Amino acid sequence: MILVVFDIDGTLADTNLVDLDCYLNALEKVFNISTDASDWEAFSDMTDSGILRDIFLSRFNRLPSDEERTRFIETFVGSLETAYSKAPDRFKEILGAGALLDELSKSPDYAVAMATGGWGASAAFKLKCAGMDINEYPFASANDGHTRADIVNTAIQRAEERRNETGFSRVVLVGDGSWDIRTARELEKPFIGLGDDVFFRSEGVIHSVPDYMDRDGFITLLGTASIPGPAEGKSKRKTFG
Ligand SMILES: [Mg+2]
């Protein structure tokens, strides 16, 4: 059985932009921090928890307290809820994502898990707005760790526990960001990119899809996708999540 581990923002839901806007809004509201996120590429972990930690270290020379983190997440989710009530089309499903998840999870040959660099509460909300239910799948989030590799490993472990299996024959990661590719390289997992194939090829990824409308084609890729090679280009994406 092949386990497919999906990132969420930009991979299952077209939510990178609204996610960033609401994260910045919550930073300003809760901590009075204004930033355009332009220096975030230098942060060690591009996850909601890692970004908050690195902002606190650089601005206040300390870590956020549990209370501060909780208040931030509540404000962030509130900001997402407001954004959805004003403009639900900022939370669109990536075409075909829900139907693909259904097909994979009903198949005896595949299992699905989700690994997001977002907080659990915000990820669940965004995915629900895009018509999918995170609770139907084993998942791990920024609540489980600061690094994407830790989060992906936790998601794989939870998928194994749910299936009562000690291991899958193959684990394929699916994501949209350069950090997703780095994680696949670090964990030596095959990877399928979601988005622009020129971007992915420059990052050493051979296999990518623009969306999930060609379900059979995507399922074929699950058997052939390979571990990303070295990045050749310098293209960057100013998205996160
Ligand atoms: Mg993403």
| Contact in structure between 172 and 191 (CB atoms under 8 Å) | yes
- CA distances in angstroms from 8 to 33, 229, 231, 233, listed in the order given: 26, 23, 23, 25
Residue 2, pLDDT score: 96
How far is the centre of ligand 1, averaged over its atoms, from the C-alpha of 38 (Å)? 17
Distance 239 CA to ligand 1 centre (A): 8
Report the pLDDT value the prediction gives residue 233, as an integer from 0 to 100. Answer: 55
Q: Which residues face 113 on adjacent strands?
A: 5
Tell me, in angstroms, the distance from the centre of ligand 1 to residue 90's CA.
Answer: 15
CB 237 within 8 A of CB 177: yes
**Ligand 1 center to 170 CA (angstroms):** 22
pLDDT at 238: 41
Q: In whole angstroms, what is the distance from residue 115 CA to residue 135 CA?
A: 12
Distance between Cα 179 and ligand 1 center (Å)? 9
At 65-114, the pLDDT tens digits run 999 999 999 999 999 999 999 999 999 999 999 999 999 999 999 999 99
Averaged in consecutive runs of 10 residues, what is the pLDDT profile of the chain (241 residues)? Answer: 97 96 95 87 84 93 96 97 97 98 95 96 97 96 93 96 83 95 96 96 96 97 96 56 50
Supply the pLDDT for residue 215: 96
Burial of residue 35 (number of CB atoms within 10 Å: 0-12, 13-18, 19+): middle
pLDDT of residue 73: 96
SS3 191: strand
CA of 47 to the centre of ligand 1 (A): 10
Rounded to the nearest 10°, the torsion over CA 166, 168, 174, 178 is 60
Cα distances (angstroms) measured from residue 159 to each of 33, 69, 152, 175, 221: 38, 27, 11, 18, 21
